Amino acid sequence: MREPSRRVVVTQRFFDDASVAILESAGCEVVLAELPPGQADGGLSQGELVDLLQGAGGWIVGHARVTRELLSDLPGLLAISRRGVGYERVDLAAARDLGRVVTIAAGGNEASVADQAIGMMLAVGRRFREAQGQMIGGSWSILMGTDLYRRTVGVVGLGRIGRSVVQRLRGFEAEILVATSRPDPAYAAAAGVRFVELPALLRESDYVTLHAPLTPETRHLIDADSIAAMRPGAFVINTARGGLVSDTDLLAALKTGRLGGAGLDVFESESDPSLKPVTDELIALPNVVAAPHAGASTREGLERTNMIAAQCVVDVFEGRDPPPECVVADGRPGRGRR
């Protein structure tokens, strides 16, 4: 196998000097893509990506689609390192077939996303946005909010971020219900959580917070039927993936008052532009607190994920195995084609 090019293209913003230094100390040429203001790499066409990545052996990527066609057009691209933990936009089978390595920045952003999820619970429960809007309009009348303290919170998914959310919720003395495909009795005893099936979680929870990957099985986990099963006035928090929620059904439930509010960092329109009008309606509602997929975007969180992403590229270039929790596909000979 010939030595890969040590040219590394970064198509993510906020890539810090310390992470550049990790790459440069390994003999890499680092190219920081200059994207137009407001443009993310997820909006780049395959042709634009091919132009950016010509001659690169490594790519530190955000939300761009990594397709078989793209990889075929870039035969020298060996390491694809996501500065994040989702990989539903990457064709893993193609990466394995074509001998590439795909990594994620596991362990870098869970604290930042968990903080945001808790912040959104507090914001929608205490109606911060509504209260400030009234004050700006000249009214200082008090709006009645809802505690997070000792409420029932349903956590859907128990990966690194889900567990970080559980850890924080314990400080609020919340009753914590968890729905996961892999219940762990020892963890339940240690963390003081109760594992339940999703229908029971929806039925019993005051807040439902989503921390599951987006798969065909989890798409539209929250839809009209599941919302109908929830407590009237409950809150939905989604800092995971937009497709977990039917935004159209969520909008209807919020407009009718069936749900009390929502905290949303992700939207279906990120992958389906036809749903942009639904997103626009959601973020205009006074009982919705929204962010532009920014849960991991703290200075500290990005520094951590940048460094993990950079080190994974270096490991691949040096012929080493990146940390196993970071590897989602490895098509190199002798690696078991994970």
My answer on whether 219 and 317 are in the same domain is no
Beta bridge partners of 29: 7
Q: Is residue 38 part of a domain?
A: yes
102 and 188 inside one domain: no
- Asked if residues 192 and 171 have their Cβ atoms less than 8 Å apart, the reply is no
Residue 338 domain-assigned (yes or no): no
Q: Does residue 309 lie in a domain region?
A: yes
Reduce the DSSP state of residue 79 to 3 states and report it: strand
Say yes or no: 187 and 319 in one domain. Answer: no
85 and 225 assigned to the same domain: no
How long a stretch of residues is the chain?
338
- For residue 175, tell me if it sits in a domain: yes
| Residue 194: both structure tokens together | 């109760």
**Are 101 and 165 contained in the same domain?**
no
Same domain? For 196 and 47 the reply is: no
Q: Look up 241 and say whether it is catalytic.
A: yes
Low-confidence ranges of the chain (pLDDT < 70): 1-2, 336-338
| pLDDT at residue 3, rounded to an integer | 80
**Which pLDDT score is estimated for 336?**
58
Count the domains in the chain. 2
Residue 237: strand pairing partners = 209, 263
The domain that holds 35 is classified in CATH as: 3.40.50.720
Statement to judge: residues 144 and 250 lie in one domain:
yes
Q: Say yes or no: 148 and 93 in one domain.
A: no
pLDDT of residue 286: 96
Q: Are 221 and 205 in contact (CB under 8 A)?
A: no
- Examine the residue annotation and report whether 318 is marked as an active-site residue of this protein: no
Catalytic residue (choose from 6, 241, 258, 304) = 241
Element (H, E) at 7: strand 7-10
Q: What is the DSSP letter of 171?
A: G
Catalytic residue among 65, 127, 270, 304: 270
Tell me the longest C-alpha to C-alpha distance in the chain: 70
**279 part of a folded domain:** yes
DSSP 297: -
Active site residue 325: no
Claim to verify: residue 71 and residue 206 sit in the same structural domain: no
Q: Where are the beta strands (DSSP E) in 165-287?
A: 175-179, 193-195, 207-210, 235-238, 261-264
Same domain membership, residue 204 and residue 74: no
Domain membership flag for residue 179: yes
- Examine the domain organization and report whether 148 and 205 are in the same domain: yes
> Could you tell me if residue 226 is inside a domain?
yes
A 10 A CB-CB count for 186 gives 7
Structural domain of 261: 110-290
Query: Looking at 65, 160, 258, 293, which residue is catalytic?
Result: 293
Same domain for 119 and 20, yes or no, is no
